Chain A
């Protein structure tokens, strides 16, 4: 007895590298920036747990051109993530009805982007105000 095998439509192996799917691939690739940045932070945390010299080594790595280039890449990915995240948000959330009208999707996107911009400025201000 053989199990029924589902039909898999033949797909070109590199479909994700061509438009219109390339936009999807790039959007999902922002996950690499988000997770990659978490790994860098975790390395610093491990340095902190291991002692002063290990932490100093991490700080030195952050000053290297490799790290600065990597963080520029992270920043680009993060900004693309912010942009696409709020494009998707109105599509994944329940419709917002105010009065008797459905709130247009682009308003929700605009509101999300405005909140993201405000929180970016707030975090930067907190960093600047609390510096030694």
Chain B
């Protein structure tokens, strides 16, 4: 019997879903609304120096990679399943587009973290 590959995608879907349920709204509030408008946070909250130091630290790297990659794979799984149910295109084409985008962007995330240095 041919084995399904679906369970492979459930783990990052579930991990990303739980992580975004716990810290997603707070992160959007902080980086997208509070820091840019200077509401409740200092103007230099996301300055180049601070952001670089965060991205150079091993724990910062882990957080950035975990958040970006898991959020991407969570979203990719939901978009893939919904488009498949909508019969927007063939199953294989949708898998390539959704998982392919998530995979490529995961690679870019890792590459950017390496370029930023340690």
Contacts and interface: CB of A to CB of B under 8 A. Distances in A.
Interface in B1-59: 16-18, 20-37, 40-42, 44-48, 50-52, 55
Contacts of A34: 16-17, 20, 24, 71, 74-75, 78
A35 B31 CA distance: 15
Nearest to B38: A63
Interface string B60-99: 0000100111011011111101100111000000000000
A69 B46 CA distance: 19
A117 B56 CA distance: 30
Nearest to B85: A16
Given A48-B55, A82-B24, A127 B30 contact: yes
Contacts of B51: 44, 48, 55
A26 to B, nearest CB: 10
Chain A: number of interface residues, binned into ranges: 35 or more
B17 A85 contact: yes
Q: Chain B interface secondary structure, helix, strand, loop or mixed?
A: helix
A78 B25 contact: yes
A31 B77 CA distance: 8
Q: Which of A25, A42, A123 has the most CB of B within 10 A?
A: A42
B32 A123 contact: no
A38 B68 contact: yes
Nearest to B114: A49
Nearest to A125: B26
Interface of B: 16-18, 20-37, 40-42, 44-48, 50-52, 55, 64, 67-69, 71-72, 74-79, 81-82, 85-87, 102, 105, 108-109, 111-113, 115-116
Interface of A: 11, 13, 16, 25, 28-42, 44-46, 48-49, 52, 55-56, 59, 62-63, 67-68, 70-72, 74-75, 78-79, 81-82, 85-86, 112, 115-116, 119-120, 123-124, 127-128, 131-132
Given A34-B78, A67-B36, 10 more contacts: A28-B78, A35-B72, A45-B112, A56-B48, A71-B28, A72-B33, A112-B21, A127-B30, A127-B45, A132-B42
